[in-house]
A and B are shown apart, each in its own frame.
Chain A
Amino acid sequence: MAPFAGYDMPISYPTGAVEEHNICRRSVGLFDIDHMGQLIVSGPDADAFVSHTVSGAVLDMKDWDARYSLLLDEQGLVRDDLFVYRLPSVAAGEGRWWIVVNASNLEADFAWFKARAGEWKGKVKVEDVSAETYMIAVQGPRAIELLDLMADREVSAFPRFTSGEIVIEGTKVLFGRTGYTGEDGGELFFPAEKAVAVWEAFIKAGEKHGIETKAIGLAARDSLRFEAGMPLHGHEISPAINALEAGFKWACDFSKPDFIGKKALEAIAAAGLPRKLVGIEITGGVPREGYEVLSPTGAKIGVCVAGMFCPTTKKYAANAFVTPEFAKVGTEVAVMAHGKPKAGLVVKRPLYLPAYRR
């Protein structure tokens, strides 16, 4: 166990990090991710407020759609990344949004949303429902099959990046066909007091139906998301990294009249990026966060923000910010590990193409 954002979290279960990773890639992984935060934004101006406050397009979302977005500051720096769900309205003419934030940013995000909402003259309400909400993820090539066997509705009928209400083990669950592993599956939100019952129902159903289902710790969660090209706050994105250098132009809707950070990002784009996020594979060691990236002539050109052994691709890879002239796929670079330069190559991200993009 290790402290993580105020929670005691398993780095790995007795299964071991690499095997946990492999189980999620071949069958079903269960993730206890209650540390994630959930906010509800509602009110007559909720739609316009969310559209202004997050980077991506949201107004085209239909009820139950779920979409990735960034929470930027005025400088275009990444305060957090989010999943935004549009829920059906419960009061006529009032939008309702379910926003999933990172554990370590919950307090700051809630304060940021609340302060911003204050500018909307009482027409936007922001609630933090994290304490009463439990969150688990069920991910893997057989996750939907398992969910179909357990839920009152056909979960397989939900398209990717949509959500809906299902009942599992007698518990009403908000289910999103989303995830952070590169596999199919979903994320489940339900009353916190049902945590143990729902968790155990998955373990039992896996056993009953002969679908290998195991708990997955933080280390495997990290290697799964890393291979699939998804960012981890504090690594590929942070309040010291802007959305464009991290490669998140696709999560910013520049056709919106305005969003927080838009002007700054337009200026950054016009001036040209001084560094870019790239994937690097090395031989002769494991690249890790903080290791320097060198040019073939030994000049410092960047730094690794994450790095590891990738259990599925069987490569040693890093994500690094490097100067743009070294950002092209196929460029030879070196990574300093234990005082020795290790040969590396800039490679295409993601290292592992998510199931739903194949």
Chain B
Amino acid sequence: MKLDSAARYRSSHEFARKEGNLYVVGISDHAQAALGDIVYVELPEVGKTFAQGDAFGVIESVKAASDLYMPMGGKVAAVNEGLGGDPALVNRDCYGEGWLVKIEAASAAEFNGLMDAATYEKEADKE
């Protein structure tokens, strides 16, 4: 599985990565591979606030629909509009162009409490 060493991960396979004042949220390479071809992504409106662990959207693959959970709490500052026309961006580049939302974090402590790449890799390998 591909990992982004700068990102931190939640056990439900979302990641967060600091970019300037914001955190970029997406799903891991392990998650996109397990889901298979992604055909639809439902994202929240900009400005909406979520707590850590809240469902903030739905990602749909050829196989199934799955809820997306916030790896850390915060306010949605941007959503990836590119996924509307090309949801397979998540398959092709989950840590880059296939990002889901950017958030203004409520607390940086939540980010530090997530798994680092090496720990997440071990967790994901157990599945």
Contact = CB atoms under 8 A, between A and B. Distances in A.
Which 7 residue pairs are nearest across A and B when measured between Cβ atoms? Answer: A309-B39, A18-B37, A286-B60, A17-B62, A17-B37, A286-B40, A219-B62
A109 to B, nearest CB: 29
A286 B63 contact: no
B36 interface: yes
B42 A309 contact: no
A288 interface: yes
A286 B39 contact: yes
B65 interface: yes
B55 to A, nearest CB: 9
Given A18-B88, A285-B58, A219 B63 contact: yes
Contacts of A309: 39-40, 60, 62
Q: Which of B37, B58, B63, B88 has the most CB atoms of chain A within a 10 A radius of its CB?
A: B37
Nearest to B64: A288
B39 A12 contact: no
A12 B40 CA distance: 18
Contacts of B39: 18, 286, 308-309, 316
A316 B36 contact: no
A283 B88 CA distance: 17
B26 to A, nearest CB: 19
Q: Which of A12, A284, A285, A308 has the most CB atoms of chain B within a 10 A radius of its CB?
A: A285
B42 A284 contact: yes
A58 to B, nearest CB: 37
Given A17-B36, A286-B39, A338 B58 contact: yes
B50 to A, nearest CB: 16
Given A219-B62, A309-B62, 14 more contacts: A11-B36, A12-B36, A16-B36, A16-B37, A18-B62, A219-B36, A285-B65, A286-B60, A286-B65, A308-B62, A316-B40, A338-B42, A338-B58, A338-B65
Q: Which of B39, B60, B63, B91 has the most CB atoms of chain A within a 10 A radius of its CB?
A: B39
Interface in B31-72: 36-37, 39-40, 42, 58, 60, 62-63, 65
**Number of contact residues on A: which range applies?**
10 to 19
Given A16-B36, A17-B37, A18-B37, A288 B65 contact: yes
Contacts of A288: 65
Interface of B: 36-37, 39-40, 42, 58, 60, 62-63, 65, 88, 91
A33 to B, nearest CB: 19
Interface string A85-103: 0000000000000000000
A285 B63 contact: no
Contacts of A316: 39-40
Contacts of B58: 285, 338
A201 to B, nearest CB: 29
Nearest to B85: A314
A285 B88 contact: no
A178 B113 CA distance: 58
Interface string A314-350: 0010000000000000000000011000000000000
Interface string A219-241: 10001000000000000000000
Contacts of A12: 36-37, 62
A41 B58 CA distance: 50
Contacts of A219: 36, 62-63
Contacts of B36: 11-12, 16-17, 219
A4 to B, nearest CB: 14
A12 B62 CA distance: 10
Interface string A1-38: 00000000001100011110000000000000000000
Given A16-B36, A17-B36, A316-B40, A285 B60 contact: yes
B89 to A, nearest CB: 13
Nearest to B37: A18
A146 to B, nearest CB: 26
A238 to B, nearest CB: 22
B60 to A, nearest CB: 4
17 contacts: A11-B63, A12-B36, A12-B37, A16-B36, A16-B91, A219-B62, A223-B62, A285-B40, A285-B42, A285-B58, A285-B65, A286-B39, A288-B65, A309-B39, A309-B60, A316-B40, A338-B42
